[in-house]
Amino acid sequence: MPTPPTDATAAGTPGPSRRRVLAAMAAALPASGLLALGDGPAYAAPVAKALPGGGDLGPNVLVFDPSTPNIQGKLDEIFKQQESAQFGTGRYALLFKPGTYNGLNAQLGFYTSISGLGLSPDDTAFNGDVTVDAGWFNGNATQNFWRSAENLALTPVNGTNRWAVAQAAPFRRMHVKGGLNLAPDGYGWASGGYIADSRIDGAVSPYSQQQWYTRDSSVGSWSNAVWNMVFSGVEGAPGQSFPDPPYTTLDSTPVSREKPFLYLDGSDYKVFLPEKRTNARGTTWGNGTARGESLPLDQFYVAKPGVDAATLNAALAQGLHLLLTPGIYHVDRPIDVQRANTVVLGLGYATLIPDNGVTAVKVADVDGVRLAGFLIDAGTVNSTTLLEIGPEGASRNHAANPTTVQDVFVRIGGAGPGKATTSMVINSNDTIIDHTWVWRADHGDGVGWDTNRADYGVRVNGDGVLATGLFVEHFNKYDVEWRGEGGRTIFFQNEKAYDAPNQAAIQNGSIKGYAAYKIADTVTTHEGWGMGSYCYYNVDPTIRQDHGFQAPNTPGVKFHNLLVVSLGGKGQYEHVINNIGAPTSGDSTVPSTVVSYP
């Protein structure tokens, strides 16, 4: 644990004095000194020895209880603003106190999260729906990104809830007392998605969903598949049958620890930290209270947009955790997490933008850090990295208490020009990456082969790293490059960069194109299940990609159920992995598969 900073070094060396940091933080809090939303501890003036924890949750966190008037009107107002605001600045967290809510339809647009505030999903009962559809995009759900639902029990009005999403749209800790439809109205295109720690009593109907990953949950049934449906630790999951139908089913998840979440204990806000499970199966909450620990909100610095990185780091140095309320945060230095078991939790897709080419977040080689629920958006000046877990050369064993990266999403371009050489680097051993979408934008503003240049998506140097739900797309070179031993990935979804100008631009020595998922030649043990790479070279449809996957030919490196797809014949794969697997052909959009490697 770091030594508490002196007055001269509260935010690092050199840096502003603690007095100035405290004064800035106090000024940012409401004059009333009370939580604006009414259900947390009063704000007290900071004492000299510590920065303040707790605080106002901000204007974009809306807290409802069953007696709140016109809830539907407020939900509709936010949805109207956010429905098509794909690259907008609005960010919202909709929080519902325990109780029963009748007749609501919470439609979710971009950067909107909805959550119950109970310790169990069944504490917050919706006799209604939480809906994602694609009317804004002519029934095409492939761009329904950046929204989430968590910790609610739904009894859908018509028996089935619609959740037609693409990437970065987690459905966590939900109880659906009916069915779940994962496709848009009219069954247009869809490209998702992720479910964890949830129970769906009825049928899950993916219809047009191209791929999906479900972890540690329970389903009444699962009706169909398109390209790649993966299950680990799911009660009621269909049996293993890849490639026809393309189900990859693991009886359990080797290691999992659910995402931290905000809840109410009486009138006090707390953050619950679920415990780690091994060989996990089914939900954490179905047989009584979930196991874990709670942290009161006064152990968190509740950050607002406009706060600077120096203040965030001063709070961390004093032993506080961070709760990032909805909004956009510019940081001129890394948020530096040095203390074991620190929690950095975002609400409503809080977004970090690194300025001047810095790394947004760095984590020391310590046990048990939990990063969850925020977006990192690359800045206009190239960052060497955007997120680093552990320094280069990290070597400690963290198997008993790993760091977790959950619903932490990375974007390069789209909202404007952005650049990063390597987006996410995992150096610490035993890290769990549980649902991420690392995306070099293929549409929006600031998009072009060199405009939003980003060579590498995820690079794993640590040993024993586990990825559950890995979505990485469109990087100029390798999307995933794995150098550590003993790595495992359960579900991988990838699209190669659409905008490669020609074959020469992606030539990799004697190899045509960079693999979507490359295991270094020095690695002797690795395993992956249910993994797909797609190409859509629309600038030059004649481009040939040698393979989607590249790995050493050694008995300890194993893959199960791989596929590559040419989308509409825009470019082709010659093989699936190394020189194994049939080439894709024509514009048929039919996967080429390999069931087992080697």
Residues with catalytic roles: 495
Q: How does DSSP classify residue 11? A: T
Please give the C-alpha separations between residue 432 and each of 137, 263, 399, 456, in angstroms, as whole numbers. Answer: 34, 24, 10, 19
Which of 194, 171, 71 is CA-nearest to residue 121?
Answer: 171
Q: Which of 384, 378, 382, 389 is nearest to 336 (CA)?
A: 389
- From residue 138, alpha-carbon distances to 190, 211, 222, 290 in Å are 12, 21, 26, 41
Identify the H or E element spanning 81: helix 71-82
Neighbours of 415 (CB within 10 A): 21
- Report how far residue 26's alpha carbon sits from residue 294's, in angstroms, rounded to the nearest whole number: 26
Quote the crossing angle between the two packed helices 309-317 and 18-28, to the nearest 10°.
Answer: 110
The sign one gets for the Cα dihedral 280, 285, 286, 287 is: positive
Cα 530 from chain centre: 18
Give the list of residues 6+ apart from residue 452 with CB closer than 8 angstroms, or none. 378, 412, 413, 414, 417, 418, 419, 440, 441, 446
**φ and ψ at 27, to 5 degrees?**
-65, -30
What's 309's DSSP letter? Answer: H
Nearest of 549, 514, 502, 515 to residue 529 by alpha carbon: 549
Express the helix, strand and coil content of the chain in percent, nearest 5 each: 10, 40, 50
**Rounded-to-integer distance, Cα 174 and Cα 79, Å:** 21
C-alpha angle 219-185-592 in degrees, rounded to nearest 5: 65
Q: Are 65 and 97 in contact (CB under 8 A)?
A: yes
For residues 334 and 308, the answer to whether their CB atoms sit within 8 Å is no
Both tokens assigned to 210:
């191209």
Q: Which two tokens stand for residue 242?
A: 């890849």
Alpha carbon distance 511, 515 (integer Å): 9
